[in-house]
Chain A
Amino acid sequence: MKKMLAVTLAWAMTVGALSGCSGTKTEATTAAAAAQTNQAEEDQTSAPTVIHYYDWAIMDTTIIDDFNAANPDIEVQYHAIPDSGSDKLTQLDILAMGGGEIDVMPGSDGEQMLRMKNGMYAPIDDLIAKDGIDMEANFGDILSYATYNDVTYGYPIRSTIEGIWYNKDMFDAAGIEYPDGSWTWDEYKEIARKLTSGEGDNRVYGTYTHTFNGQWAPVGNEVSPWYQEDGTCNITADGFRTALERRKELDDLGYQLSFSQIIATKANQSASFLGGKCAMVQAGSWIVQNIKDQENYPHDFRIGVAPMPRFDDTVEKDNYFSVAATILAIPATSAHPEEAWRFIRYMVEEGAERVAGTGNYPSYKPAYSDSLIETFIKDSGLAIEDVRMLFEDMSPVGQKPTGLGAAEYQQSMQEQTQLFFNGEKSADEVLGQIEKITNEAIKKELEGN
């Protein structure tokens, strides 16, 4: 009996660890150990420093070979991990927490804020200052994803530039003009109405908004900042309240697959849009990877991209895109931060074109050129004139809050708004709850807990 109890408890305690440590980790560690042995066997005097780089993105690994060839004193070993929802992050966390051999790791789309706060990454301000890098010129709009509480922890490698992708054939058939950055929410809603047709399995929705917290809020962020001036949570501001209600309105009007149906059917943006189930979709630049992938996402229509709609007429600027970024960071446990930093710079700066080649949007601005855009959209059927605006001056809005308490802010946005979208709670209740949770977290952080 006692044994059974004990086994149960041990299970309870290790459950998370187990689900995080899939076979890959062991393999990777073994590989790392083997690499070390090999290295030791080689000539002791000229043995290069080994840098272990983990990533889940589709990778053009020629960049790593090039780096190794150009830097004989460093040997980068690349370890691919499966791109499996949030498990991939847990896997990296455990590697870094356990002091595993890991020198360069990605931190993605807002999830990195918690890890910055918790001291998982080494600060790189000194390295940046030493190399005299102008971060603003290199990355501009998405820098907030690389810093936390004014300390820089990462060098952005790939961004998510999110706008409205649309099916040009459906627009043509309905005689609707292609949208540009001047469109307002009401125009967007009207187009969604016109493009909704059919019933049951044949229903084609006007648009599609996914369940992530980064999907409904950016339009609100055009008029309301994430934080109030005193640093507290600003989610109850008009912009966000309206944006929240508008997302549900599209559900209720039947212009898009409802929040509940997305949950119930595990629908996703690429499959819905490229499968012809919706005429528009709010999606990030990553969708280009899926557009290129005719095998898994077969489609035969032309696609364009437009900025996010303006909140309303009073918003002067246009070309709003919601932005987020993935950084490359050095775990605080790494024994070779200098070498890791050299590799990170090479990856981000020299590798921009090759990041673009995999359908990811490179964050490094100085590399932007027509040839890079051509590489980005190669084999996707997209037209360069359509996509160029993603690389030009735009008005960025934050996909997610990145300041103090960001982890709790994002988490509570995700958990609480479900209850509004499925009709159980009012907007006031859920926004109030998010505000309460976030402000508690901010207060705790300021008190140094």
Chain B
Amino acid sequence: MKQKNTKRTKRQLREERAGYLFVIPNFIGIVIFVALPIILSLMLGFTKWNPMQGLSAIEFAGLDNFSRMISDERLHAALKNNFVYTFTYVPVSVALALLVAVLLDKYVFMKVPLRLMCFMPYISAMVSVAYVWLILLNPEGGPVNSVLAALGVKNPPGWFTKSNSSLAGIILMSIWHDFGYYMIIFLSALQGLSKEVYESARVDGAGGLQCFFRITVPMMASNIIFVAILATMNSFKVFDQINVLTEGGPGYSTNVLVYCIYHYAFREHNIGYASAVAVLLFVIIMVFSAVQVKLKEKFTI
């Protein structure tokens, strides 16, 4: 984006050049590793390509890939699962993180060890954590179902072995794994809030709950929306635990978009269709993020 401006002093030009030079390394990196793959993927979405036959096998296929989406049951299941996942994972993990952050900010003893415990899952490898959850959620004799049975639940869920509960198992595990990270973000924001506002509210007779909903939440609005955006993106990226635990099953019950992309690209060797699905994912995330950014503008104080 060079500006055609000839009426500049030498000094200005030199400064400008220095500026561009500083930006160039990063810019090249972004072009090669971010922009180029996006553009290539977008283009591949309109082709039929079996990569086993080399680059010469790329054929233009028009909208074939996108019309296949209309009748693709695997993809439909993935879309549905992704939305269910996002609309439970994001609100629950953000609310939980905020609640725990507020509690840990003031009301408990042993703040540091407790914070550490909440944050621990996030820094543990998903693959090993997944195995622990597999044992926890074993439908026969696993700790979770044993507790449920002791509480009198008649038909405890089959978790990863049944299609009506496997996604719930994945969501539960993901919330447990990630909320500590969101909590840390909230904690640091809470510590930046002015104490005076609370003090004057107390003087005016506000209770704890009132303080939380009338002061904490509005003052944290921009942080909450930021974390919600982060969580939304994480929710669309879910892959590891599904690959390890269920491979998309039983049936298609834990298929999500990223897992679909992986399936089409590396199980079916259909790079064109996989890219088309990646484009779909891109559009969805873009829409979600745009909405959230608008919300952020509206609610930020």
Q: Which residues of A contact B (CB under 8 A)?
A: 1, 3-16, 19-20, 90, 93, 96-97, 99, 114-115, 118-120, 200, 259-261, 263-266, 332-333, 407, 411, 415-416, 418-419, 422, 424
- B265-A16 in contact (CB<8A): yes
Distance in angstroms between the alpha carbons of A411 and B249 in the assembled complex: 12
- B268-A407 in contact (CB<8A): yes
- A9-B162 in contact (CB<8A): no
Q: Does B51 contact A (CB under 8 A)?
A: yes
- A99-B163 in contact (CB<8A): no
With A415-B252, A416-B251 as known contacts, state yes or no: A264 contacts B163, CB within 8 Å: no
- A97-B286 in contact (CB<8A): no
- B251-A415 in contact (CB<8A): yes
Tell me what chain B mostly uses at the interface: helix, strand, loop, or mixed: helix
Distance in angstroms between the alpha carbons of A15 and B266 in the assembled complex: 11
Q: Does B199 contact A (CB under 8 A)?
A: no
Q: Does B248 contact A (CB under 8 A)?
A: yes
Q: Which residues of B contact A7 (CB under 8 A)?
A: 34
Distance in angstroms between the alpha carbons of A40 and B44 in the assembled complex: 38
Q: Which residues of A contact B138 (CB under 8 A)?
A: 261, 264-265
Distance in angstroms between the alpha carbons of A333 and B161 in the assembled complex: 42
- Could you say which interface size class chain B belongs to? 35 or more
Q: Output the least CB separation between B294 and chain A (Å).
A: 12
- B281-A12 in contact (CB<8A): yes
Q: Does B41 contact A (CB under 8 A)?
A: yes
Q: Output the least CB separation between A264 and chain B (Å).
A: 5
Known: A13-B278, A16-B262, A260-B161. 9 other contacts (CB 8 A): A6-B38, A13-B37, A13-B261, A16-B265, A200-B141, A260-B139, A264-B138, A264-B139, A264-B161
Q: Which of B158, B164, B237, B274 lies in contact with A8, CB distance below 8 A?
A: B237
With A260-B161, A419-B250 as known contacts, state yes or no: A10 contacts B38, CB within 8 Å: yes
Q: Does B86 contact A (CB under 8 A)?
A: no
- B286-A424 in contact (CB<8A): no
Distance in angstroms between the alpha carbons of A97 and B269 in the assembled complex: 10
- B37-A15 in contact (CB<8A): no
The chain A residue sitting closest to B233, CB to CB, is: A8
Q: Which residues of B contact A99 (CB under 8 A)?
A: 54
Q: Which of A6, A96, A411 lies in contact with B35, CB distance below 8 A?
A: A6
Q: Does B10 contact A (CB under 8 A)?
A: no
With A8-B233, A8-B236, A266-B134 as known contacts, state yes or no: A1 contacts B289, CB within 8 Å: yes
Q: Output the least CB separation between A218 and chain B (Å).
A: 22
Q: Which of B51, B261, B268 lies in contact with A15, CB distance below 8 A?
A: B261
Q: Which residues of B contact A118 (CB under 8 A)?
A: 50, 52-53, 269
With A8-B285, A15-B261, A264-B140 as known contacts, state yes or no: A418 contacts B52, CB within 8 Å: no
- A10-B34 in contact (CB<8A): yes
Cβ < 8 Å to A, chain B residues 108-143? 131, 134-135, 137-142
Q: Which residues of B contact A418 (CB under 8 A)?
A: 249-251
Q: Which residues of A contact B34 (CB under 8 A)?
A: 3, 6-7, 10
Which 6 A-B pairs rank lowest in CB-CB distance, beginning with the nearest?
A260-B161, A16-B262, A418-B250, A120-B52, A97-B51, A118-B52
Q: Output the least CB separation between B82 and chain A (Å).
A: 12
Q: Which residues of A contact B164 (CB under 8 A)?
A: 424
- A5-B286 in contact (CB<8A): yes
Q: Output the least CB separation between A424 and chain B (Å).
A: 6
With A96-B52, A332-B52 as known contacts, state yes or no: A15 contacts B285, CB within 8 Å: no
- A419-B251 in contact (CB<8A): yes
Distance in angstroms between the alpha carbons of A301 and B278 in the assembled complex: 53
- A114-B33 in contact (CB<8A): no
Distance in angstroms between the alpha carbons of A407 and B135 in the assembled complex: 32
Q: List 23 A-B contacts (CB under 8 A).
A: A5-B282, A5-B285, A9-B282, A9-B285, A10-B37, A12-B237, A12-B261, A15-B237, A15-B262, A16-B266, A97-B52, A115-B269, A261-B161, A264-B134, A264-B137, A264-B139, A264-B140, A264-B161, A416-B251, A422-B161, A422-B162, A422-B250, A424-B250
Q: Does B98 contact A (CB under 8 A)?
A: no
Q: Mark B136-169, 1 if CB is under 8 A from A, else 0.
A: 0111111000000000000000111111100000
- B258-A119 in contact (CB<8A): no
Q: Which residues of B contact A264 (CB under 8 A)?
A: 134, 137-140, 142, 159-161
The chain A residue sitting closest to B234, CB to CB, is: A8
With A418-B250, A422-B158 as known contacts, state yes or no: A11 contacts B41, CB within 8 Å: no
Q: Mark B257-285, 1 if CB is under 8 A from A, else 0.
A: 11001100111110000110010011001
